[in-house]
Structures are given as structure tokens and as C-alpha cells.
A and B are shown apart, each in its own frame.
Chain A
Amino acid sequence: MAEIKPAANPQRPLSPHLQIYRPMLSMTMSIAHRATGIALYGGSILLVWWFAAAAQSDSYFDLVQAFFNHWFGRIVLFGFNWALIHHALGGIRHFIWDMGQGFKLSTVEWMVRANLIGSIVLTILLWAVAYGVKP
């Protein structure tokens, strides 16, 4: 929460940031964790909208349901769901690190791959089951 004051000497070197490093999967997945978190923040308004509509009236809820049943609404929901699963798996990855485990480079590499592939597989699986049960 400290205020960043303008540097007295503008020539002072800055600490290296994203543009300095060669992109790596672990770095990209760290950014993806933050990006999905921000996306979920924005997307959560859809959940609020859905609950508020259900509390409102039959006609308004039917309208909102029609939006989510439309192919565009389904794609939005699918993306929202993927972001949630990706962020949740990323959170589990961080729990493992919080416990002081999994810092070996090969383990880190394995975990970020499992995070990315797992999120895609789990989301498709969940929607396949959902469409199977209620098409």
C-alpha cells in the first residue's frame, strides 16, 4: 500500500519485467491464473443477473434463459466454466507450493501442464456429461 514516488533520478534502472524474459510455460500459466481471476470477476455479473432474473418474473427469467440457451450464451458459459476450473486447479497448485512442496523444476513443469490440460479436459467432460444427462 506504499505510495510510489517519482524517482529522483529518472535514469535509475528499473527492475526487469515481462518484456525482458523469454516466454516460458510456467510464466504464461502464472499470468493465466491472474487473467482467469480477473475474467471470473467480470463474469460473475452473469451469475448475479441469472439469480436476480429468477427472483424477478417468469417472462424476464425466460428471456435470460433464452440468452444462455442460444449458442452464443453457451459459448460464454463454457468459457466462464473453463476459466473457473483453470483458476481452481491453479489454486490447488498454489496450495501445494504454500505447503512448501513441488518446487523441483521438473515438478513445476509437470504441474503447469497438468493445470492447462486438466482444465480443458475437465470442462469438456463436465459439459459432455451435462449434455448427456439433459440435452
Chain B
Amino acid sequence: MIIDPGMKTPLKKVKGFGSAKSGTDHFWQQRATAVANLPLMAFMVGFVIWHLGATRAEVIASLHHPVVALLLIMGLASAFWHMRLGLQVVIEDYLHSHLTKFSALALNIAVATSFFAVSAYSILKMSFAP
């Protein structure tokens, strides 16, 4: 690759050329979602424990409040993204052959995003239900 020697700063030349091609993004996203998870998961756990013996009508009634539904969906988004980032590190640590590693990395993203889609859709469906 030819890099213009004169017009670019040293920072511009190396940006995106680390071994992961994404700089410190992964590290920062892991930390940002971790901070977000602390209050959001506290709310999630409280919601689930509160509704352990509840009927379906009671769960739907709670989800009718937009703040409740939104806090849960934001919690799911943050937690599932954090989960995806975390398992990616585990996969990269232990799987070294190209085929198994990339299959596992792709499956990891598919599972985490599917979990989010199913749970977020379920909450919205109940929140909007009459």
C-alpha cells in the first residue's frame, strides 16, 4: 500500500492498521456497555423477580408503561452487545484455525442479535397490546 508521504499526519497513517483493524473500539464498547449494564441489569433483575409468580396479564400491564418497556429493551441491547463482545474475546483466545474461528465469531453475532430481536420484539408486542 502506498501512503502519501507528505500530506498525512503520523496518526492518520496508522489509524485502522492495528492487528484487529479497529483500534480500541472493542475495548471501549466493552467498558461502555459494562457501565450501562450496572443500572439496567439491576432494573431487569428487579422486574423478573417481581413477576416470578405473576400471570401473563400482570406482566403485560407492567409493560404498558413506556419507561418500563424502554428500560428493559435498552438493558437487553446493552447486555447482548456486551455478551457478544465478551464471547468474541473468548473465541479469539481459544480457537485458532481459520474455519472454526470465523464460524464461531459469526455464530456468536447471530446468536446475540437473535436473542435481542426475539426478546425486544416480545416486549414491544406486549407493550403495544391493548
Contacts and interface: CB of A to CB of B under 8 A. Distances in A.
B34 A130 contact: no
Contacts of A126: 45, 49
Which of B34, B44, B79 has the most chain A CB within a 10 Å cutoff? Answer: B34
Interface residues of B, number: 39
A48 B119 contact: yes
Given A1-B20, A48-B119, A54-B122, A41 B86 contact: yes
B43 interface: no
Contacts of A68: 52
A34 interface: yes
Contact of B115 (A34, A44, A77): A44
Interface string A42-53: 001101101110
B86 A37 contact: yes
Nearest to B20: A1
Nearest to B115: A48
A63 to B, nearest CB: 11
B98 to A, nearest CB: 6
B3 to A, nearest CB: 22
B53 A134 contact: yes
A-B complex: 7 closest residue pairs judged by Cβ atoms: A55-B122, A4-B96, A51-B122, A61-B56, A51-B119, A48-B119, A55-B125
16 contacts: A37-B83, A38-B87, A41-B83, A47-B44, A51-B122, A52-B122, A54-B59, A54-B60, A55-B123, A55-B125, A65-B52, A88-B41, A91-B34, A92-B38, A126-B45, A134-B53
Interface of B: 19-21, 31, 34-35, 37-38, 41, 44-45, 48-50, 52-57, 59-60, 79-80, 83, 86-87, 90, 92, 96, 98, 115, 118-119, 121-123, 125-126
Given A3-B98, A134-B50, 18 more contacts: A1-B21, A2-B19, A4-B96, A44-B80, A45-B115, A48-B118, A51-B118, A51-B119, A51-B122, A52-B119, A52-B122, A55-B125, A58-B57, A65-B53, A69-B53, A84-B41, A91-B37, A95-B31
